[in-house]
């Protein structure tokens, strides 16, 4: 993981104009879907990106392959400016950077057989796999993702949700990408199936030389697969770190709140742990009119006037390689 990052994103902003008047100056309203996101992805790395629904995760993903045009900011792939790429160069980028979406139902054409779904890209890009080898290679790919190659003539509806996501993974691999952006690939699946799909992605990573951006709305989903995790809130990454830094030593109040939310009632939870639990008040503010300064300040127990005035930058305050976008970033007292 030396040398320049495979992907480098700097100050990415995507505001969607929505053609609605806002009160006061400023003209038309915009949805500030992505409001200043910076990160790097190294070769072979898996970067988890976690945040509640609507915080801008998918928009970041789409902007990186120009399915959405950015409002401002820069992004480079192998040192090349993604936002300045010609249409021709962009076609190549979309081979090198694949996205797997959440919904395996919606993203597979119900009228195509699995074989056709997998070989489609080879038909379009004729310089990739010669016609005579397509069927065998498709079967090999099916086997590689844990499906019976004998099922090559079946249709998507004949498979379970988890199997369909495996087909989606096989399809993403056909053009030998360098990056796969997994946009909530397991969110629609039963919990028991989620781990199997995550494990598959992990198993194939080295063999195919892949780097991943793994998007989820739940910190627990990305924990084991990620080398680093970025936590997003209202269009911004608020904290970025490795497993220990995020799950044991979180310094941003929002990350701490996410981690202390206990989804399943635990009868063994101690009274001290209960007392230490952070319950976030209120809802996520609208991205049309996010709070000034720190976007999280309206729900933060540490916020003061400085937080309303000054945008906290995502910087490494303690020189531990663990940036946090909070003026008052600090580790919580250990919970007894
Ligand atoms: N094409 C669009 N036009 C207007 N608003 C959009 C568009 N796409 C996304 N948004 C808004 O941008 C915000 C971020 O959306 P999204 O990136 O899909 O979030 P996430 O993937 O984290 O759930 C949401 O408020 C969403 O409604
Ligand atoms: Mg999304």
How far apart CA 113 and CA 171 sit, in angstroms, is: 12
The reply to whether ligand 1 has any atom less than 6 angstroms from the CB of 216 is no
25 CB-near residues (< 8 Å, 6+ apart): none
Alpha-helical (H) ranges within the chain are 57-64, 87-96, 104-107, 114-124, 131-144, 161-173, 191-207, 219-222, 243-247, 253-260, 271-276, 305-309
The reply to whether ligand 1 has any atom less than 6 angstroms from the CB of 58 is yes
Per-residue pLDDT, averaged over 295-319, amounts to: 94
Nearest C-alpha to atom 18 of ligand 1 is from which residue?
Answer: 58
Question: What distance in angstroms lies between residue 57's CA and the mean position of ligand 1's atoms?
Answer: 8
Q: Which ligand is nearest to the CA of 34?
A: 1
The reply to whether ligand 1 has any atom less than 6 angstroms from the CB of 284 is no
Question: What distance in angstroms lies between residue 129's CA and the mean position of ligand 1's atoms?
Answer: 37
The reply to whether ligand 1 has any atom less than 6 angstroms from the CB of 55 is yes
The reply to whether ligand 1 has any atom less than 6 angstroms from the CB of 155 is no
DSSP 218: S
The reply to whether ligand 1 has any atom less than 6 angstroms from the CB of 57 is yes
The confidence score (pLDDT) of residue 325 equals: 97
The reply to whether ligand 1 has any atom less than 6 angstroms from the CB of 16 is yes
- For the chain, list the domains and their CATH numbers: 7-309 (3.40.50.300)
The confidence score (pLDDT) of residue 200 equals: 97
Say how many residues make up the chain. 336
Q: Which ligand is nearest to the CA of 57?
A: 1
CA torsion, ordered 137, 206, 77, 295, to nearest 10 deg: 120
The reply to whether ligand 1 has any atom less than 6 angstroms from the CB of 102 is no
Nearest C-alpha to atom 27 of ligand 1 is from which residue?
Answer: 54
| Average pLDDT, rounded, for the chain | 92
Q: Is the per-residue pLDDT at 334 higher than 80?
A: no
Nearest C-alpha to atom 2 of ligand 1 is from which residue?
Answer: 16
**Residue 280 — pLDDT band, cuts 50, 70, 90?**
confident
Q: Is the per-residue pLDDT at 60 higher than 60?
A: yes
Q: Which atom of ligand 1 is nearest to the CA of 18?
A: 4
Q: Which ligand is nearest to the CA of 30?
A: 1
Considering only 195-199, 203-207, 259-263, which range has the smallest mean pLDDT? 259-263
Nearest C-alpha to atom 24 of ligand 1 is from which residue?
Answer: 54
Q: Is the per-residue pLDDT at 336 higher than 50?
A: no
Per-residue pLDDT, averaged over 108-137, amounts to: 94
Nearest C-alpha to atom 17 of ligand 1 is from which residue?
Answer: 56
Q: Which ligand is nearest to the CA of 232?
A: 1
Considering only 124-128, 193-197, 201-205, 219-223, which range has the smallest mean pLDDT? 124-128
pTM above 0.75, yes or no: yes
Question: What distance in angstroms lies between residue 149's CA and the mean position of ligand 2's atoms?
Answer: 31
Nearest C-alpha to atom 7 of ligand 1 is from which residue?
Answer: 16
How far apart CA 108 and CA 111 sit, in angstroms, is: 9
Q: Which atom of ligand 1 is nearest to the CA of 286?
A: 25
Q: Is the per-residue pLDDT at 19 higher than 90?
A: no
CB 245 within 8 A of CB 231: no
The confidence score (pLDDT) of residue 297 equals: 96
């Amino acid at each position: 993981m030396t040398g320049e990052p495979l992907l480098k994103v700097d100050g990415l902003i995507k505001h969607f104009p929505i053609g609605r008047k806002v009160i006061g100056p400023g003209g038309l309203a915009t949805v500030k879907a992505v409001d200043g996101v910076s990160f790097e992805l190294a070769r072979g790395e898996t970067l988890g990106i976690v945040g509640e629904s609507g915080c801008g995760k998918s928009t970041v993903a789409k902007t990186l392959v120009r399915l959405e045009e950015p409002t401002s900011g820069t992004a480079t792939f192998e040192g090349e400016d993604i936002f300045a790429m010609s249409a021709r160069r962009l076609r190549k980028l979309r081979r090198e950077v694949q996205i797997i979406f959440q919904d395996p139902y919606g993203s597979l054409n119900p009228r195509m057989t699995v074989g056709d779904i997998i070989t489609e890209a080879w038909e379009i890009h004729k310089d990739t796999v010669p016609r005579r080898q397509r069927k065998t290679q498709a079967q090999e790919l099916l086997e590689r993702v844990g499906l019976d190659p004998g099922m090559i003539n079946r249709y998507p509806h004949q498979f379970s949700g988890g199997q369909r996501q495996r087909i989606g993974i096989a399809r993403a691999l056909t053009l030998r990408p360098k990056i796969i952006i997994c946009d909530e690939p397991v969110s629609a699946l039963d919990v028991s199936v989620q781990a199997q799909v995550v494990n598959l992605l992990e198993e194939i990573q080295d063999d195919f030389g892949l780097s991943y951006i793994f998007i989820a709305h739940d910190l627990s989903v990305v924990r084991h697969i990620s080398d680093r995790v970025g936590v997003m809130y209202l269009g911004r990454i608020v904290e970025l770190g490795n497993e220990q830094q995020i799950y044991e030593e979180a310094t941003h109040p929002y990350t701490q709140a996410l981690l202390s939310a206990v989804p399943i009632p635990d009868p063994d939870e101690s009274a001290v742990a209960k007392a230490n639990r952070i319950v976030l008040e209120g809802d996520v503010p609208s991205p049309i009119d996010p709070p000034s300064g720190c976007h999280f300040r309206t729900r933060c127990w540490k916020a003061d006037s400085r937080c309303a005035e000054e945008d906290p930058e995502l910087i490494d305050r303690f020189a531990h390689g663990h940036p946090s976008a909070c003026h008052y970033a600090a580790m919580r007292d250990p919970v007894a």
